[in-house]
Amino acid sequence: MYSRILTATDGSPLSRRAVRAAAELAGATGARLTVLHVVSPYLQSAGISLAKLPGYGRAVDKAARGVLAAARAQARACNVNAEAATVVGGDPWKAILREAGARGCDLIVMASHGRRGLKGLILGSETAKVLAHAKVPVLVCR
């Protein structure tokens, strides 16, 4: 069915559920699994670059390692060995699609917070953008 699955995680409880779903699906289908953590170097609403702050790179690296270690542990609990990747910079939805394409993924698994109204408009939805632009199926976990 699927041979390569990419799941994006920000470490939130909701995205951890998506990682679990991706790992279970990878285990059931024998697919390879990649967990991806995307870090923006900007405060999204203010456009302020955080990358210039002292220690930012080390802090990002440490946080990303923690998020990805937790995701890989979830995959191991499902008897799946997951590859881990971090992308720093750019729009998360574009990074997700770029990584999925570069890795030949035939499924993307993500969480959706289901924000609506003004909150959804201001924060945007990376999942909605992936859904709108993906050339492969996207499984959305809520």
Helix axes 92-102, 126-133, angle to 10 degrees: 40
Contact between 31 and 2 (Cβ < 8 Å): yes
pLDDT in tens, 83-140: 999 998 788 999 999 999 999 999 999 998 766 555 554 445 889 999 999 999 999 9
Q: Which CATH number fits domain 4-141: 3.40.47.10, 3.30.565.10, 3.40.50.300, 3.40.50.620?
A: 3.40.50.620
Q: In this model, does residue 34 exceed pLDDT 80?
A: yes
Residue 102 makes CB contacts below 8 A (sequence gap 6+) with none
Tokens of 58: 């080390």
Using one digit for the tens of pLDDT, what is the confidence trace for 120-129?
544 458 899 9
